[in-house]
Amino acid sequence: MPETRLLLKHSGDPEYRAIAGYMAEGGYVGLKKALTMERQAVIDEVKKSGLRGRGGAGFPTWMKWNSVPKEKTKPHYVLCNADEGEPGTFKDKELMENTPHLMIEGMIIGGYAIQAEVGYVYIRAEFMDCARAIKMAIDEAYENGFLGKNILGSGWDHDIYVHMGAGSYECGEENAMMRSLMGERGMPGLKFPHAPFPTIEGLWNLPTLINNVESFACVPHIVVNGGDWYAMIGASTKNSRGTKIFSVSGHVNKPGNYEIEFGMPLMELLELAGGMKGGELKACVPGGSSVPMINKEQCEKAIIGYEELVEVGTMVGSGGCIFLNEHTCIVTFIWRTTLFYARESCGKCTPCREGSGRLVAALARLRSGDDAQKTAALRDIDELVTVMRSASLCGLGQMAVSPATSALQDFRQAVGAPKGANT
């Protein structure tokens, strides 16, 4: 199967980055159409499309939009998660640099659907090329009446501001992101079921819709062509619709972003990326560093789709697909991945703050210790995994253990250690 380039169709074309070029290719038709529709009808189109969040969790987008209070008694906000930080992922970067208006248009449509007055784009400060492109797109949108007061005569006002991060992976987590935007350390607070969803109480305790860059970029296509049209893409899968951009890196010949239709076998994605470099395929982390690693046999069976990848023991995640060749030391790789989580842990809750550091230490012992130390290390890892997975406050701590659990199974057999109850 070749790529299905919907979002990235015009990526690389400098004219498309400016509003004139974007409009020449049908840009802002979606917004114009949405503004003539009932707000609920826009949400219904998104529902029909089957779009699921592209930021990692795969939550149905329409459900978020639909859960914002319809009776408007106070300000509503839109927050675009452009803090892409997941190791292995660089799709939002390409989208913002090359198709900034697509994302902005999607955000404005989202803002209209939930009756928001202000939208924020939270961009990590390393992404200056993205920030400049988005800022220019916002300026152009104001000049053309797509933002500001009384947009296209609809009587609805909307502003969008860029908010820059300052270096923190945890700020990609939506709860932490809101804290960060409100001028605090990027640490999440209580969340559902202990606190309402952000769509009820988000920024400044007001209803806030948070979606990923890629999720918003899908919206104009859905509004223009209809949800039913979008839902035909990827229809061979159980419940994954549309296209998904995979950022392929690691030991491949042509690393880069590939936009594919759901339902493609994982091995074809590898082919698109020019096949393996420097040796045979050994393992793959298909959805960013937080998702479980799978071995070669699992790769050969894997079909790309939210449910389909779960069947082989992993996840779509954010779409950061890292292929490893046969010369890679898996334990070293897991150690380095876990070190990332230990360094990026925000430190708010004990299981993750303490556990992630200890997990790194245990993996280091597994890497260089003798047999007795290795067996002991495996036991420690089992314990840490249970605690971190069940007791961490946010996804960082919960997912930090997945590389260790998934990939150590083969290793466990090699050293003859008993398989723990938790893995």
Partner 1 sequence: MDLIQLTEKEERPQAPKPGEVELRFSDRGVKELDYLLTHYPDRKSAMLPALWIAQREYGGNLPAEAVAEVAVRLGRSYAEVEGVATFYTMYHIRHAVGKHVIEVCTCIACALCGAYRIADYLKAKLGVDWGETTPDGTFTLEEVECLDACDRAPVLMVADEYIGPAAEKDVDTLIERLRNTEEPTTVRLADEVTQAQLHKTEQASAQD
Ligand X SMILES: Cc1cc2nc3c(=O)[nH]c(=O)nc-3n(C[C@H](O)[C@H](O)[C@H](O)COP(=O)(O)O)c2cc1C
Residues at the site binding ligand SF4, with contacts judged by CB under 6 A: 170, 187-188, 345-349, 352-353, 392-394, 396-397
Q: Which does 57 bind (CB under 5 to 8 A by kind): ligand SF4, ligand X, partner 1, none?
A: ligand X
| Cα–Cα separations (whole angstroms), residue 20 to 14, 32, 135, 279 | 11, 16, 16, 46
In the three-class reduction of DSSP (H, G, I as helix; E, B as strand; rest coil), residue 288 is classed as strand
Amino acid at 43: I
Q: Which does 322 bind (CB under 5 to 8 A by kind): partner 1, ligand SF4, ligand X, none?
A: partner 1
Residue 85 within binding range of ligand X, rule CB under 6 A: yes
Residue 57 within binding range of partner 1, rule CB under 8 A: no
Q: Pick from 4, 8, 10, 86 the residue near ligand X by CB under 6 A.
A: 86
Cβ atoms of 335 and 363 within 8 Å: the answer is: yes
Rounded to an integer, what distance in angstroms lies between the CA atom of residue 318 and that of residue 306? Answer: 11
Least spacing, CB of residue 172 vs ligand X, in Å: 2
Rounded to an integer, what distance in angstroms lies between the CA atom of residue 188 and that of residue 174? Answer: 8
Q: Pick from 217, 245, 248, 312 the residue near partner 1 by CB under 8 A.
A: 248
- From the list 47-55, 219-227, 248-256, 296-304, the region that binds partner 1 by CB under 8 A is 248-256
Q: In the structure encoding, which two tokens stand for residue 39, read together? A: 């707000």
Q: In the structure encoding, which two tokens stand for residue 393, read together? A: 């406050």
Among residue numbers 278 through 317, which ones bind partner 1 (CB under 8 A)?
Answer: 289
In degrees, rounded to 5, the angle at the alpha carbon of residue 121 between the alpha carbons of residues 187 and 39 is 110
Alpha carbon 340 to its chain centroid, in Å, reads 17
Q: Pick from 4, 81, 208, 243 the residue near ligand X by CB under 6 A.
A: 81
Rounded to an integer, what distance in angstroms lies between the CA atom of residue 132 and that of residue 134? Answer: 6
Nearest alpha carbon to residue 359 among 389, 329, 335, 395? 335
Q: In the structure encoding, which two tokens stand for residue 299, read together? A: 């790769």
Cβ atoms of 230 and 221 within 8 Å: the answer is: yes
- From the list 178-186, 261-269, 270-278, 388-396, the region that binds ligand X by CB under 6 A is 388-396
Q: Which does 88 bind (CB under 5 to 8 A by kind): ligand SF4, ligand X, partner 1, none?
A: partner 1
Least spacing, CB of residue 270 vs partner 1, in Å: 15
Place of tokens 């498309």: 16
Cβ atoms of 17 and 99 within 8 Å: the answer is: yes
x/- binding map, residues 337-366, to partner 1, per CB under 8 A? x-xx-xxx-x----------x--xx--x--
Residue 131 within binding range of partner 1, rule CB under 8 A: yes
Residue 87 within binding range of partner 1, rule CB under 8 A: yes
Least spacing, CB of residue 421 vs ligand SF4, in Å: 23
In the three-class reduction of DSSP (H, G, I as helix; E, B as strand; rest coil), residue 254 is classed as coil
Residue 394 within binding range of ligand X, rule CB under 6 A: yes
Residue 351 within binding range of ligand X, rule CB under 6 A: no
Q: Give the count of beta carbons closer than 10 Å to the beta carbon of residue 172.
A: 27
Least spacing, CB of residue 388 vs ligand SF4, in Å: 8
**Chain positions contacting ligand X, by CB under 6 A:** 53-57, 59, 81, 83-86, 170, 172-174, 210-212, 215, 394-396
